[in-house]
Amino acid sequence: MDKFLVTIFAAFSLVGIVCSAIGYNIWNKHSQLKKQGIETTALVIGHYEKKQIKSTTARAVIIQYKDYNDSLRTFYSTTYTTPPMFQVGETIKIWYSKDKPDDILMEGKDEWIIPTVLGVFGIIFSLIGIPSLIKELL
């Protein structure tokens, strides 16, 4: 039994399990927010880019919406896409929790992109790590 291979396969397994768990938790949070949260519409008022990466064309959206108290709120998305998910002036569907009106879920890519990416990475790393780890240990 090669300790180096066992360590590598254990690391792959751990990364796979952690990515899958985080992806599932985010997906579950989004599902609960859509079921139990307040659904409303928001207006896309702008786009912005990551200041740390000057050469990127990826943009995130800035939206405005009214919460259950009729207070106008502004939300800066953290999902950067090329081209931007929505155009300025577009009305989109959002969900938020009454307890945390700044915790927003926007329709479209924002709903599924992060859980999907983490889930795919988790499955790939797990399918490489777990069977290989079992084979090395037996």
Looking at residue 70, its pLDDT comes to 92
Position 130 confidence tier, pLDDT thresholds 50, 70, 90: very high
Could you report the per-residue pLDDT of 69-128, keeping only the tens digit for each? 999 999 999 888 888 889 999 999 999 998 988 889 999 888 898 999 999 999 999 999
pTM comes to 0.81
Could you give the number of structural domains in the chain? 1
Looking at residue 53, its pLDDT comes to 67
Q: Domain of residue 56: give its range.
A: 3-137
Looking at residue 124, its pLDDT comes to 96
Could you report the per-residue pLDDT of 30-64, keeping only the tens digit for each? 999 999 999 999 999 999 988 776 777 889 999 99
The sheet with strand 104-106 has its strands ordered as 72-76, 60-66, 38-48, 91-96, 104-106
